[in-house]
Structure 1
Amino acid sequence: MIGDCGVYVDGRRRPGRVPLDQAAEAARTASGFVWIGLQQPTSEEIAVVAEEFGLPALAVEDAVKAHQRPKLEVYGSVVFMVLKPVRYVDHEEVIDVSEIALFLGRDFVVTVRHGDSDVLGRVRAELDSGDSKPVVDGPTAVVYRAADLVVDGYEEAIVSITEDIDEIESQVFGGDGGEDHAERIYKLKREVAEFRRAVLPLNAPLRQLAEGSIPVVDKAAAPYFRDVHDHALRASDGIEGHDRLLSDVLQADLARVGVRHSKIAVRQNADMRRISAWAAIALVPTAIAGIYGMNFEYMPELTWRFGYFAVVGVVVSLCAGLYWLFRRSGWL
């Protein structure tokens, strides 16, 4: 349940893991902060951490249940924030959304992860390596780097979605074999809608952090949060643009499908008229032949010297007349 528990002083981690019941005291003694990482904890499991650090009950409930909108809430001296990292699975054309809940105090950070995301792992690796001093110190450094990496993931996903939309546009407007792309377009549009629900609500919390008005969060980090906020706004604009573009492409594809169906219907009607015309022409000799095939004894034409030629002439004349009429009306 507890992924890691470490104490950080001056942006560097002290060696080893700290027992949970000693973490708060160790952070205060060292004048640093402790970071406890939890992975999909149950209510009973997180209750131990909540009691140790005085986490607000309502926020703890949200962190356990997950499926929250990105948000930022202040409970006295504790700040609760929810981030929604995304990953675009290109071969399936789906948005994989995970969730991170963060509790910030003056000397602690508690993170709760739901889903498959490497954001917190990358942040911890940066702090644990100690290769470079973070741009901000304390718990604020964890929040800043987590938000920055999440928004960077948004921009990467937008680039991948753009490539798929360009491919769909080429297929729709390039006459790709007369195929119907509506199902693929609608599926991608649904994923973009899921993407929007992860990105748009984050703009308000980032704006609050950029204003430097949140307790516990270092005011010196405000310029860095403004940069993250600007990137998030840019990602929001990109998502809105993709949604409108997919709607336009879907309408264009449906229109092209309708035109193709109309052309097919016209061809089918023309074929039916042609078949009907030839059937009518063929009916004349069939009917006359049927009459003379009844073998009645008293048929005047049977003893007439020119009867055969007269009947053949009538058949040819009627067939030629019908052909001329159908040809004139455009049926042949």
Structure 2
Amino acid sequence: MSQQVQESLRLRGALFDGDERTEVGSLAELMEALQTSTAFGYLEIRDPDRLQLSELAEHLGAPELLHPPASASSGHTPMVAGAHVRLSTHRVQLEEPTFQLVVADLHIYVLPRLLILDHDGGFDFEPLRARLDTEKRHRDQGVGWLLWLVLDELLGEAGSALNALDDELDDIEDVLLTPGNKPAAIQNRVYRLRKSASRLRRCLLPLRDAVDALLRREADCVSPSLFPLFQGLYDRGVHHVEWADSLRDLVTALSDTQIAMEGNRLNVIMKKVTSWAAIIAIPAAVTGFYGQNLPYPGFNTVGGLWTSTLLMVVGCGGLYVTFKRKDWL
């Protein structure tokens, strides 16, 4: 591998040999440790280009694995071929208070003693790195254990996003039934929620398919001891996808409910406006009659004044009482 490519690669990782853990800061250091010991570990590469991946694949003896790079966004099919595995997944994070979903690709390559994580650096990698370094259960299972930890962490992030969307949906339902709410603000929240739920579902599908491929194609890294753990990952993946589907359906129902409520509110407003217009028409008709310039009964007399006033009061009061009884006001 060329010296220039080695220096330009931004990588870090760790090797595990029993209870011992060793930091790795360069590719040369990693290769020397793998050749001189029985250790296994992970390598984290930040946003490599095609040339770097191609040379790295040749150096590791797995050109078909790392080149061309996987692409979760293009619907890449997981590759499981014995000791070699290539998966394309997503990391997700929900930004509050906008509830917009932030997505980053994570490409996972599995070799017999090495797990490679290729990411763009857009997410905080420290929580996942800390878990890889401190978790000790099933460490004797090698890279399969590391792969299970990574996939479990990704499902945990998706579950947190689903929980936040579910809570936001409950809050919108409460606000929707509150008198005096602002329809435009609710509509914007519903739109953002529906968009995030749909995008989250699309991000969960590659993760579910990746675990399914590991279970069905008998990857060497999934030992019999790890099989129940990966089966649990698959069950969680299916549950998360169904959860995202139900959220999309609930958001759609919420949007339909809001539209129906706005239609009902508009009907009530139109009913009241029409009723008040009918009531106001009575004084207009009476004053129009008594305002004509031709002689009429009570013309230029006090009796005419009281008669017109009485007609307006009786007419308006009668219509008001009638509309109230019919719930038109």
Which TM-score bucket, shorter chain as reference? 0.7 to 0.9
Letter in 2 for 1:44: L
For 2:271 and 2:84, locate their aligned partners in 1 and report how far apart those are by CA, in whole Å.
Answer: 70
Identity of aligned residues (%): 17
Letter in 2 for 1:80: R
Letter in 2 for 1:191: S
Matches within 5 A, 1:24-173: 24-56=31-63, 60-63=67-70, 67-69=73-75, 72-74=78-80, 77-114=83-120, 116-118=122-124, 121-129=126-134, 132=136, 134-173=138-177
SS at match of 1:176: coil
The 10-residue stretch of structure 1 (161-170 or 5-14) with the greater mean CA deviation from structure 2: 5-14
For 2:314 and 2:127, locate their aligned partners in 1 and report how far apart those are by CA, in whole Å.
Answer: 83
Tell me by how many angstroms 1:29 deviates.
2.5
For 1:193 and 1:126, locate their aligned partners in 2 and report how far apart those are by CA, in whole Å.
Answer: 29
Structure 2 match to 1:295: none
The 10-residue stretch of structure 1 (17-26 or 236-245) with the greater mean CA deviation from structure 2: 17-26
Correspondent of 2:256 among 248, 251, 255? 251
Structure 2 match to 1:296: none
String of CA shifts for 1:279-322, please: whole Å, max 9, x gaps.
Answer: 2222223222xx6xxxxxxxxx8xxxxx9965435676577668
Q: 1:257 to 1:115 in 2, by over 3 A?
A: farther
String of CA shifts for 1:240-277, please: whole Å, max 9, x gaps.
Answer: 22222222222112111111111111122222223333
Q: 1:73 to 1:179 in 2, by over 3 A?
A: same
Tell me by how many angstroms 1:149 deviates.
0.9
Which one has the largest radius of gyration? 1
Tell me by how many angstroms 1:326 deviates.
7.1
Q: 1:111 to 1:268 in 2, by over 3 A?
A: same
For 1:59 and 1:231, locate their aligned partners in 2 and report how far apart those are by CA, in whole Å.
Answer: 28
Q: 1:322 to 1:17 in 2, by over 3 A?
A: closer
Tell me by how many angstroms 1:9 deviates.
2.4
Letter in 1 for 2:145: A
Q: 1:117 to 1:60 in 2, by over 3 A?
A: farther
Does the CA-based 8 Å contact 1:36-1:111 persist in structure 2? yes
Tell me by how many angstroms 1:18 deviates.
5.3
Structure 1 match to 2:5: none
Tell me by how many angstroms 1:169 deviates.
1.3
For 2:121 and 2:129, locate their aligned partners in 1 and report how far apart those are by CA, in whole Å.
Answer: 17
Tell me by how many angstroms 1:166 deviates.
1.3
Q: 1:11 to 1:214 in 2, by over 3 A?
A: farther
Does the CA-based 8 Å contact 2:79-2:87 persist in structure 1? yes
Structure 1 match to 2:240: 235
2:254 is aligned with 1:223:
no
SS at match of 2:226: helix
Tell me by how many angstroms 1:39 deviates.
1.2
Matches within 5 A, 1:1-20: 1-10=9-18, 12-14=20-22, 16-17=23-24, 19-20=26-27
Does the CA-based 8 Å contact 2:109-2:115 persist in structure 1? yes
- TM-score normalised by structure 2 residue count: 0.80
For 1:308 and 1:176, locate their aligned partners in 2 and report how far apart those are by CA, in whole Å.
Answer: 51
RMSD: 3.3
String of CA shifts for 1:65-89, please: whole Å, max 9, x gaps.
Answer: 6635475213575210122122222
Letter in 1 for 2:146: V
Structure 1 match to 2:187: 182
Tell me by how many angstroms 1:160 deviates.
1.9
Q: 1:266 to 1:55 in 2, by over 3 A?
A: farther
Does the CA-based 8 Å contact 2:54-2:63 persist in structure 1? no
The runs of 5 or more residues in structure 1 that have no matched partner are 292-300, 302-306
Letter in 2 for 1:188: L
For 1:81 and 1:150, locate their aligned partners in 2 and report how far apart those are by CA, in whole Å.
Answer: 13
